Each structure stands twice: as C-alpha cells, then as structure tokens.
C-alpha cells in the first residue's frame, strides 16, 4: 500500500493537473495539518483516494453569520481522525491534532492535556490488540514527539505523550509536520524503538507491505502489562 503524506506547505508537484498521473499508484493520503482546505479538497478530488487528516495549530476559519462569528471549517470529502483510530483496508491509522499551547488559539494543548488525550485512547487501542494482535500501524500527529525533530520555542516543542505512545503501542510510523525544514540536509526521519518517525513537511511517500500487517507483532498479555505500567488501563 502506497501512502502520500502531506503537511504545512503547498507543493506545486502535488497541486498540479498532473497529480493523478504522478501519484497514480497511491492508495491513501494522510495530512498532518496546517494545510489550506482547498489544497486538501483538490488532492482528494483529483486523486479520488481516501484522505485522513488531523488539524494543525494553523487552521482555516470562516465567518458564519448568526452562528457566533468565526469557526473552523473542515475540508470536504476528507476524514478527521483526531483522537481515534480507523481501519482502512486492514491498516490501523490514528491521529492526534495540534501543537503545544502557546496562545489562546484552537488546536493547542499543554503536555498534560495531550497526555490525557493519549490515555483516553487506551480502550480503543486495547480493543485493537485483542482483535488484530496490534494496536495501531500509523499515528498521524501535527506536532513532533518531544526531542525528535522538535524546536526550542514553546510553539515548536514536541509532546512527551507521543514518546510514551510509541513505547507502549509500537506503531510502525509516526507521521508529523509542524517543524519546517529549510535545509536540504535537515533531519526528516528518526527511528524511535520500533517506530519510524517522519516529518512529512511538504510531502513524502511511504509504502507498507499489506502482507506483513496480519502478523501479530506483540502478545496481548505483554501489551496489557505495558498499558497497566503506563497507568492507562487497570
């Protein structure tokens, strides 16, 4: 399964009439946030493939008369996977939106709030363990994990909870954005335990062999012990 991942900047190669030809073998699109709605809608329309996304800290808003002013608008035809896990043709994909809280804006969380969001995903992830022998294959986030591809300023610091998420649930990939890459040699990929962390800034292509998904990689007992130890389940 070939996956096109997007975030943060509009790429001419993607927003092009040739998109369907260039990415014809892509099965799925994942967006890690901070992209214009019309860009996501263009991709989903032109490729005709499922697009799952999480919001970044910069989201488009629209004024709605009689509805109390500005509110976030969702891209049409795309599916928001914040705080849940979906099963796409056997591939388990989850999402966690937003960045560290640095202002009063939407989609911002403190370390504590993000830890709570991760903790409350435990029942759903545990159910996946029981059903599929694994909790999740890909976690899509906007912000990076703490200490991996993150920055020093509050806005660009990564979340500690994502490290714990990877230690306990062992997703194959954590796809994030938020950290802009201005140099060709900037670090984009880091291995953390069993997870490949990718900053998709712009776009990336990842490929997953579907045949390997069916093999349970962890025994439920072992997984449960980890979750109990993390305090996420009793």
Kindly tell me which of 34 and 97 has the beta carbon lying closer to Zn ion.
34
Q: Is 230 exposed, middle or buried (0-12, 13-18, 19+ CB in 10 A)?
A: middle
Stretch that binds Zn ion, among 21-29, 50-58, 60-68, 196-204 (CB under 5 A): 50-58
Q: Is 56 in the site for Zn ion (CB under 5 A)?
A: yes
Q: Is 57 in the site for Zn ion (CB under 5 A)?
A: yes
Kindly tell me which of 58 and 218 has the beta carbon lying closer to Zn ion.
58
Q: Are 23 and 46 in contact (CB under 8 A)?
A: no
Kindly tell me which of 82 and 178 has the beta carbon lying closer to Zn ion.
178
Q: Is 178 in the site for Zn ion (CB under 5 A)?
A: yes
Stretch that binds Zn ion, among 75-83, 171-179, 193-201, 202-210 (CB under 5 A): 171-179
Which of 196, 161, 206, 180 lies closest to 57 in space, CA to CA? 180
List the structure tokens of 90: 């056997």
The rounded distance, in Å, linking the Cα atoms of 163 and 221 is 21
Q: Is 212 exposed, middle or buried (0-12, 13-18, 19+ CB in 10 A)?
A: exposed
Q: Is 164 in the site for Zn ion (CB under 5 A)?
A: no
Using CB under 5 A as the binding criterion, the count of chain residues that bind Zn ion stands at 4
Which of 181, 162, 159 lies closest to 173 in space, CA to CA? 162
Q: What distances in angstroms separate CA 223 from CA 17, 141, 163, one per listed residue?
A: 46, 22, 16
Kindly tell me which of 67 and 152 has the beta carbon lying closer to Zn ion.
152
Q: Is 149 in the site for Zn ion (CB under 5 A)?
A: no
Question: Would you give the binding string for Zn ion spanning residues 18-47, x where CB under 5 A is met?
Answer: ----------------x-------------
Q: Is 97 in the site for Zn ion (CB under 5 A)?
A: no
**Which residues contact Zn ion (rule: CB under 5 A)?**
34, 56-57, 178
């Amino acid at each position: 399964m070939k996956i096109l991942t997007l975030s943060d900047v509009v790429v001419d190669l993607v927003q092009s009439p040739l998109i369907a030809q260039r990415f014809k073998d892509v099965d799925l699109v994942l967006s890690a946030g901070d992209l214009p709605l019309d860009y996501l809608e263009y991709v989903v329309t032109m490729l005709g493939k499922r697009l799952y996304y999480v919001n970044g800290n910069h989201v488009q808003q629209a004024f709605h008369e009689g509805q109390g002013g500005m509110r976030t608008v969702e891209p049409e035809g795309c599916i928001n996977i914040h705080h849940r896990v979906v099963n796409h043709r056997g591939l388990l994909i989850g999402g966690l939106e937003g960045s560290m809280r640095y202002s009063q804006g939407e989609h911002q969380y403190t370390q504590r709030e993000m830890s709570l969001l991760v903790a409350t995903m435990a029942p759903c992830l545990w159910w996946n363990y029981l059903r599929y022998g694994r909790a999740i294959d890909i976690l899509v986030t906007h912000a990076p994990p703490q200490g991996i591809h993150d920055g020093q300023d509050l806005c660009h610091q990564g979340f500690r909870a994502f490290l714990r998420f990877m230690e306990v649930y062992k997703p194959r990939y954590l796809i994030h954005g938020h950290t802009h890459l201005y140099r060709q040699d900037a670090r984009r990929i880091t291995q953390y335990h069993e997870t490949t962390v990718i900053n998709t800034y712009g776009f990336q292509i990842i490929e997953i062999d579907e045949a390997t998904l069916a093999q349970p990689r962890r025994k439920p007992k072992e997984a449960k012990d980890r979750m109990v130890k993390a305090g996420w389940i009793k």
